[in-house]
Structure 1
Amino acid sequence: MTNFRTFILGLAASFGLPWLCLIVLPAMQYEQLAPVAYDKEKDGVEGYFPPAPINGQGQLVYISEGCNQCHSQMIRPIQLGLDGWYKGWGQDQEARPATPARPSVLRDYLGERYALLGIQRVGPDLANFGWRAPDANALHVHLYSPRAVNDWSTMPSYKNLYKLQKVQGPVSSRALKLPKKFAPPAGYEVVPTPEADRLVEYLLSLKKDYPVPGQGAAVAASPAKK
């Protein structure tokens, strides 16, 4: 009986302690977070961190379509010998420097209902995709037919988020401008649904590369360099 009790307690500790340390305590810490004000003199930035809210409705579409199965939204610390966060990934669109700016921090996800760190990186990391993304129309084309943009793409098509409709009078201003190979039949057009619009708005709102207060303005919060 004593050995069985010890076994059960050991089993509970083996599963309970990791659950406590990896889920419960971080969740409690996250609940207590609040935006932090920048110090203009020390940080070189005004306002609060994080300053770029994401599109919550679009995040739900992102989840329902399984985008987080192939795309991460988290840059790991360079100390792990992995990637780090490089300037060329965010607002600064110049060539990538040798020194990383910073990894992700907990406050990067403040205000989000879900922190979509991702499962694997089959596709590129999207933590600050909003800075390097094409315009909304080009992004719609990419979502509708990825191989219309890159013929080598392994990304699935999200045609379910778009509507094929018969042209009634003038072509809709929302109609996607697709290459001939991917264009709809004559007399028809493809237009985004509200869900597609929310997803694009969400992707364009992903800008998790602002400087962390007190850690130096490695990346200035200024308009993107295109």
Structure 2
Amino acid sequence: MTNFPKFIYGLAFAFGLPWLLLVIIPALWGQKLAPLPYDQDRDGMTGAYPGGGIYRQGQLVYLREGCNQCHTQVIRPSFEGLTDGWKMGWGSDQTPQPKLVVRPSTARDYMHEPVAPLGIARNGPDLANVGYRIKDDKKLLQKLYAPQSLFPWSVMPAHRHLFKVQKIQGSGAAHALDLPKEFAPEKGYEVVPKPETLELVKYIKSLKKDEPIPGQVPQE
């Protein structure tokens, strides 16, 4: 029993030090982050990095639905002299042979987000810059409603509770989904997204976390 106080102190130290170094200090450091200004002469552009905010309501739906359980929003750095060829299509350059290197994510990329949705696992594609890859809102909505209607091999769960089935009025709703027969509702009805689903789509389309960093702007 004489060593009990030492045991308690040792236990507090063993858990307290990592908590201080890995949680408290990084959190305090993150709160002090501020946007970095661009220099017109050096960078060829004005403004600040990072730029605007996010669609907060859409992010709330994203987190509530657990999208971060299967999708990351982090571009990891390349080590050992590896090229970025494996990151084709991960940034703003969507050409078959991208010339622009996709830069790694930084803490400032998440400055305007109350919660940084880094992700738990990468079971699905990384979404850090997915906004560049989305060309059709309805395709994204269709993927949310019935992923297997686009990719039969997809393991993504359907989020049909984000939609409603309603009777077709007139020429139909503007956002009604164009579904294959096996996924479509009965004749005379249509599937339309709920307002929160449209907010989710806005948020996903806004994900472009590859703004150039001041002092590191690629020069053509």
TM-score, structure 1 as length reference = 0.88
- C-alpha change, 1:111 and 1:64, in structure 2 (3 Å) is same
Which letter does structure 1 place at the counterpart of 2:152?
Answer: D
Matched, 1:28 2:28: yes
Q: Which runs of 5+ in 2 are unaligned?
A: none
Per-residue CA deviations over 1:111-131 (Å, capped at 9, x if unaligned) read: 101001111111111111111
The answer to whether the Cα contact below 8 Å between 1:71 and 1:124 also exists between their aligned partners in 2 is yes
Structure 2: distance between partners of 1:146 and 1:4: 58
Match of 1:223 in 2: none
More divergent stretch after superposition (93-102 vs 130-139): 93-102
Structure 2: distance between partners of 1:172 and 1:132: 25
Structure 2: distance between partners of 1:154 and 1:218: 37
Identity score, percent: 53
Shift of 1:40: 2.2
Which letter does structure 2 place at the counterpart of 1:42?
Answer: R
Match of 1:103 in 2: 104
Which letter does structure 2 place at the counterpart of 1:169?
Answer: G
Q: Which runs of 5+ in 1 are unaligned?
A: 221-226
- C-alpha change, 1:51 and 1:16, in structure 2 (3 Å) is same
The answer to whether the Cα contact below 8 Å between 1:91 and 1:209 also exists between their aligned partners in 2 is yes
Match of 1:198 in 2: 199
The answer to whether the Cα contact below 8 Å between 1:129 and 1:203 also exists between their aligned partners in 2 is yes
Structure 2: distance between partners of 1:121 and 1:59: 18
Shift of 1:75: 1.7
The answer to whether the Cα contact below 8 Å between 1:164 and 1:191 also exists between their aligned partners in 2 is yes
SS in structure 2 of the partner of residue 89 of structure 1? coil
Which letter does structure 1 place at the counterpart of 2:69?
Answer: Q
Shift of 1:97: 5.6
What is the aligned-residue RMSD (CA, Å)?
Answer: 2.4
Structure 1: distance between partners of 2:61 and 2:53: 16
Per-residue CA deviations over 1:160-191 (Å, capped at 9, x if unaligned) read: 00010111232112211112221111010001
- C-alpha change, 1:154 and 1:82, in structure 2 (3 Å) is farther
